[in-house]
């Protein structure tokens, strides 16, 4: 049973993300490097926010649970803000690198566009964020144990997996939209992304009231998917072309 | 159980990043005499352990073209090294997490780290680990200098014998131990004749692939396996604090040995470049293959140059024999990384995996090492000379290990307990 839970939760949490990685990123060395560097930037942001939380925690009374909970919530919000700051920093770094690549390449353009970099960076943030949230839970799900023995929810593993999936996809979409907003200097886009991230993390604070956290988070995910699709140049026309050209291929073959 | 001296030594020289092509030769050829491009520019396949970027930089031509070629191949080389480094780390982490033998401490230590860490006070323990480090590093320095002297005075037989002995030990003895422990962990019934057959085949094919010829991927696989085995031995037999201090110290040593003008590794690289010889194949992992002798015989005008230096040819271009210098450049491209680098990266990640139940630390160290490798390769592309591969990666790895273990772990544990998501 534990193996079933392990594999089920692993595939729920990481299936789409790994599929995206394998089909779109793994073949191109430059994208892999941007992906790993994105993960690195997220790690740096996590390090910084953990440091701040740790200092605050040590400076306060360890016995007082209310204060500790408040500090944890503060830690969550601060971490969200720091992540977005590092996303912006990564955007600046990638822009500089892109200009460098374009300057030295044969054709006047760089081998990778800002939109592709936005997607790859977003996916990097997403996968490492999901991994850090989920890996320890997955390894615990393999071992012997009883879920919710102290009265906690029975659905811990599956809700964690679903939440991780949502967060991973959200980071990808936020990356696309964020970079696009920076490119076009639409600062309201960035503000909306930050607010949505804060909203999603805030909704997760409602756990274990899963009805309050999971459906809204998935609603936000779908919204972001649509926004990212249109922001990266997609349109209803493209979608219809996708379906009609398939049909014509089928007809001609 | 103590490892032999040859083990220690063999892995010392193995840390560095070197440029596999001597830049001066080809640029001389290209710059000064275009018609010499038909004569084969010597491929200096030097790459003593250190990571060497075997791309030769053309001496002239529009600057953009040089840099573009460099960078176009740069990303590919980074990935060509990411994959084996990742595989080695995955093997080590998987073994550490499943086979408990390599995390059990039963008091045995290497003779190179004689001071025990079972002391009462923190200060004493720290002192002992520093002393252990000093002894280990001095052993490494002495061995490296010995090797460089042997190389300088052309005692090739001695060196080859030494390397063969050390790879024999790794391929037969350590892999036998490893197999035994895996069988014990999974409670597999096994008999000695079968094990003898398995180990004999594994070891014999490994010796042939590493020291003579074999398919490139098989050779790469064997090098990854022996690096992983060596890293596991280090993880088992180095005491806790000594291991971390040794990792830090060896990065500093690597920096000094490769960059200082009188550093032993730099002298090794330069001597090998002067003599147009490849550094011993048992010490480096290369991404492109050395051509087999049959391919060499197809081309008489190159046959003479081949007698000393094993030519480098990517297997893809094995058929193509037209030799414009650009094509030589393309064929020459490949990167080489010393086995010592594999070993110490894996030691770092393995130790991160060995400490406790937490996977986040392992993951963080893994990303840190890959980024360090990326930055090192970027520097290699910019400076185009032998570079130490350890300092940047190990520094990032150590920083991430200690900070993730002490700062991030409590934070993430608390978040997971409440199911808060950031």
For the stretch B72-89, pLDDT in tens is 567 888 899 999 999 999
- Set of chain A residues whose Cβ sits within 8 Å of the Cβ of B360: 132, 135-136
Percent of chain B at pLDDT > 90 equals 50
Distance from CA of B358 to the nearest CA of A (A): 6
CA terminus-to-terminus distance, chain B: 47
CB contact under 8 A, B403 and A46: no
**Residue B15's pLDDT is what?**
54
A50–B408: do the CB atoms touch at under 8 Å? yes
Q: What backbone torsions phi and psi does residue A151 show, to the nearest 5 degrees?
A: 100, 5
Q: What is the mean pLDDT of residues A101-113?
A: 76
Q: How many CB atoms lie within 10 A of CB A242?
A: 10
pLDDT tens per residue, range B200-257 = 999 999 999 999 989 999 999 999 999 999 999 999 999 889 999 999 999 999 999 9
pLDDT at residue B25 is higher than 50: no
Of A46, A83, A137, the CB nearest to B416: A137
Query: Cα–Cα distance between B26 and B42 in angstroms, integer?
Result: 7
Q: What pLDDT, on the 0 to 100 scale, is given for residue B118?
A: 85
B338, B46 Cβ separation under 8 angstroms: no
CB contact under 8 Å between A32 and B79, yes or no, is yes
pLDDT range class, residue B191, cuts 50, 70, 90: very high
Considering CB atoms only, which of A39, A43, A204 is closest to B419? A204
**Top mean-pLDDT range of A120-124, B354-358, B375-379:** A120-124
**Which value does ipTM take for this structure?**
0.93
Q: Do A47 and B408 touch (CB under 8 A)?
A: yes
pLDDT confidence of residue B51 = 53
> What is the rounded average pLDDT of the residues B27-49?
34
Looking at residue B32, what is its pLDDT? Answer: 38
C-alpha–C-alpha distance, residues B312 and B310, integer Å = 6
Mean pLDDT to the nearest integer, B318-339: 54
Nearest CA in chain B to A44: B400
Of residues B408, B412, B418, nearest to A207 (C-beta):
B418
- The residue that leads in pLDDT, A248 or A40, is A40
* Residue B71 confidence (pLDDT) above 70: no
> For residue A101, what pLDDT is reported?
80
Contact across the interface for B416 and A133, Cβ inside 8 Å: yes
Nearest CA in chain B to A97: B71
Q: Which residue of B has its CA nearest to A134?
A: B416
pLDDT digits (tens, 9 = 90+) for A152-183: 888 999 999 999 999 999 999 999 999 999 99
Residue B333 has what pLDDT? Answer: 62
Interface mutation vs chain B, best among A104, A145, A150, most B CBs within 10 Å: A104
Mutation for testing the B interface, residue in A14, A26, A30 having most B CBs under 10 Å:
A30
The CA dihedral of B181, B186, B189, B190, to the nearest 10 degrees, is -40
Q: Flag whether pLDDT at B295 surpasses 60.
A: no
**Average pLDDT score over residue span A189-217:** 92
Which pLDDT score, from 0 to 100, does residue B17 have?
55
Q: Cβ contacts (< 8 Å) between A132 and chain B: which residues?
A: 360, 363, 408, 412
Report d(CA B215, CA B206) in Å as an integer. 11
**Pick from A163-167, B275-279, B308-312: least confident:** B308-312
Using the beta-carbon criterion (under 8 Å), do A105 and B68 form an inter-chain contact? yes
Contacts of A49 in chain B (CB under 8 A): 411, 422
Helix or strand or coil: residue B338? strand
Higher pLDDT among residues B393 and B303, named by residue: B393
Nearest-neighbour CA in chain B from A185: distance (Å): 26
Rounded to an integer, the average pLDDT of A25-36 is 93
Q: For residues B6-35, give the mean pLDDT.
A: 42
Q: How many CB pairs under 8 A join A and B?
A: 119
d(CA A135, CA B360): 7
Q: Quick check: B421 and A201 CB within 8 A?
A: yes
Residue B276's pLDDT band (cuts 50, 70, 90): confident
Write down the residue that tokens 């144990």 correspond to: A145
Question: Is B341 part of the annotated catalytic residue set?
Answer: yes
Q: What is the reported pLDDT for B272?
A: 86
Given a cut of 80, whether residue A47 has pLDDT beyond it is yes
Q: What is the phi/psi pair of residue A27, to 5°?
A: -80, -25
What's the whole-number mean pLDDT along residues B16-20?
50
Does the pLDDT value for residue B316 go beyond 80?
Answer: no
Q: Which chain B residues touch A39 with a CB distance below 8 Å?
A: 367
Q: What is the pLDDT of residue B67?
A: 58
Which residues of B fall within a CB distance of 8 Å from A46? 408, 411, 422
CB contact under 8 A, B419 and A208: yes
| Cα dihedral A190, A79, A167, A201 sign | negative
Residue A228 to residues A42, A172, A231, A238, Cα–Cα distance (Å): 20, 9, 5, 14
Nearest CA-CA distance, residue B90 and chain A, Å: 15
- Only one residue has tokens 């936005």, namely A118
pLDDT of residue A143: 82
Of B218-227, B301-310, B407-416, the least confident: B301-310
Whole-number pLDDT of residue A15: 96
Q: Which residues of A touch B421 (CB under 8 A)?
A: 76, 133, 163-164, 167, 200-201, 204
Answer whether B78 sits within 8 Å of A29, measured CB to CB. yes
**CA within 13 Å, CB half, B197:** 4
> What residues in A contact B410, CB-CB < 8 Å?
50, 54, 57
Chain A residues near residue B367 by CB distance under 8 angstroms = 36, 39-40, 43, 128
- Following CA atoms A225, A227, A228, A232 in sequence, which dihedral angle do they give, to the nearest 10 degrees? 140
pLDDT value of residue B189: 94
What pLDDT is attached to residue A43? 97
For B366-389, what is each residue's pLDDT tens digit?
999 999 999 999 898 888 888 999
B303 touches A at CB < 8 Å: no
Given B254, B328, B332, B405, the catalytic residue:
B254
pTM over 0.80: yes
CB nearest A33 (choices: B68, B374, B407): B374
Give pLDDT, residue A92.
Answer: 95
How large is the average pLDDT for residues B274-297? 69
Check the CA dihedral B37-B42-B45-B50 and report its sign.
negative
What is the C-alpha to C-alpha distance for residues A175 and A122, in angstroms, rounded to an integer? 4
Nearest residue to B10 via CA among B282, B355, B274, B379: B282
Other beta carbons within 10 Å of B79: 19
Closest residue by Cα to residue A102 from A50, A151, A30? A30
Question: Which chain A residues are within 8 Å of B370, Cβ to Cβ?
Answer: 36
**Interface contact flag, A128 B363, Cβ < 8 Å:** yes
**Per-residue pLDDT, A19:** 97
pLDDT of A151 over the 80 cut: yes
Query: CA-to-CA distance for A13 and A4, rounded, in angstroms?
Result: 14
Q: Point out the catalytic residue in the list B9, B328, B332, B341.
A: B341
Residue B61 pLDDT > 80: no
Helical (H) or strand (E) element with A27: none
In the predicted structure, residue B39 carries a pLDDT above the cut 60: no
Contact B381, A24 (CB under 8 A): no
């Amino acid at each position: 049973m534990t193996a079933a839970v392990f594999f089920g939760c692993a595939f729920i949490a990481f299936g789409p993300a790994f599929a995206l990685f394998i089909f779109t990123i793994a073949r191109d060395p430059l994208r892999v490097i941007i992906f790993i560097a994105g993960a690195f930037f997220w790690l740096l942001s996590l390090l910084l926010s953990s440091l701040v939380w740790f200092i605050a925690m040590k400076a306060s009374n360890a016995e007082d649970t209310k204060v500790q909970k408040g500090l944890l919530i503060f830690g969550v919000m601060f971490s969200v803000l720091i992540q977005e700051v590092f996303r912006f920093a990564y955007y600046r770094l990638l822009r500089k690198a892109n200009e460098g690549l374009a300057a030295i390449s044969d054709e006047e353009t760089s081998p990778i566009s800002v939109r592709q970099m936005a997607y790859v960076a977003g996916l990097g943030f997403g996968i490492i964020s999901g991994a850090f949230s989920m890996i320890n839970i997955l390894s615990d799900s393999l071992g012997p144990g009883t879920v919710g023995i102290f009265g906690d929810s029975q659905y811990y593993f599956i809700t964690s997996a679903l939440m991780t999936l949502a967060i991973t996809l959200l980071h990808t979409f936020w990356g696309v939209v964020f970079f696009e907003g920076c490119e076009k200097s639409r600062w309201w886009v960035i503000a909306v992304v930050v607010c949505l991230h804060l909203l999603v993390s805030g909704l997760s604070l409602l756990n274990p009231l899963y009805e309050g956290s999971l459906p809204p988070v998935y609603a936000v995910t779908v919204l972001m998917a649509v926004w990212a699709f249109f922001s990266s140049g997609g349109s209803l026309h493209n979608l219809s072309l996708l379906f009609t050209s398939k049909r014509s291929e089928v007809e001609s073959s | 159980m103590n490892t032999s001296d040859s083990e220690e030594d063999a892995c010392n020289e193995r840390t560095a990043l070197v440029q596999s092509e001597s830049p001066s030769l080809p640029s001389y050829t290209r710059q000064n005499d275009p018609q010499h491009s038909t004569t084969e520019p010597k491929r200096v396949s030097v790459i003593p352990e250190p990571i060497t970027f075997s791309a030769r930089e053309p001496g002239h031509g529009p600057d953009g073209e040089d840099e573009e070629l460099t960078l176009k191949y740069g990303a590919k080389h980074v990935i060509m090294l990411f994959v084996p480094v990742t595989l080695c780390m995955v093997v080590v982490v998987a073994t550490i997490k499943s086979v408990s033998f390599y995390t059990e401490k039963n008091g045995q230590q290497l003779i190179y780290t004689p001071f025990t860490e079972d002391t009462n006070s923190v200060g004493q323990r720290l002192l002992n680990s520093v002393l252990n480090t000093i002894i280990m590093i001095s052993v490494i320095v002495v061995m490296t200098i010995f090797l460089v002297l042997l190389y300088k005075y052309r005692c090739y037989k001695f060196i080859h014998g030494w390397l063969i002995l050390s790879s024999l030990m790794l391929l037969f003895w350590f892999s036998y131990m490893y197999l035994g422990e895996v069988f014990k962990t999974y409670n597999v019934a096994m008999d000695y004749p079968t094990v003898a057959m398995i180990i004999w085949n594994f070891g014999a094919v490994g010796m042939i692939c590493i020291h003579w010829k074999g398919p490139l991927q098989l050779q790469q696989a064997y090098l990854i396996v022996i690096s992983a085995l060596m890293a596991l031995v280090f993880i088992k037999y180095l005491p806790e604090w000594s291991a971390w201090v040794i990792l830090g110290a060896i990065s500093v040593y690597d920096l000094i040995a490769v960059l200082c003008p009188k550093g032993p590794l730099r002298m090794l690289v330069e001597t090998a470049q002067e003599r147009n010889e490849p550094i011993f194949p048992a010490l480096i992992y290369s991404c492109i293959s050395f051509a087999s002798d049959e391919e060499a015989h197809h081309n008489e005008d190159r046959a003479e140059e081949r007698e000393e230096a094993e030519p480098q040819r990517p297997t893809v271009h094995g058929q193509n024999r037209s030799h414009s210098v650009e094509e030589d450049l393309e064929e020459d491209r490949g990167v080489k990384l010393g086995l010592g680098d594999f070993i110490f990266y894996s030691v770092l990640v393995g130790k991160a995996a060995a400490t406790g139940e937490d996977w986040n630390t392992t993951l963080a160290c893994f990303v840190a090492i890959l980024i360090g490798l990326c930055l090192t390769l970027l520097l290699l592309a910019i400076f185009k000379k032998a570079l130490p591969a350890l300092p940047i990666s190990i520094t990032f790895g150590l920083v991430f290990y200690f900070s993730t273990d002490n700062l991030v772990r409590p934070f993430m544990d608390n978040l997971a307990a409440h199911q808060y998501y950031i």
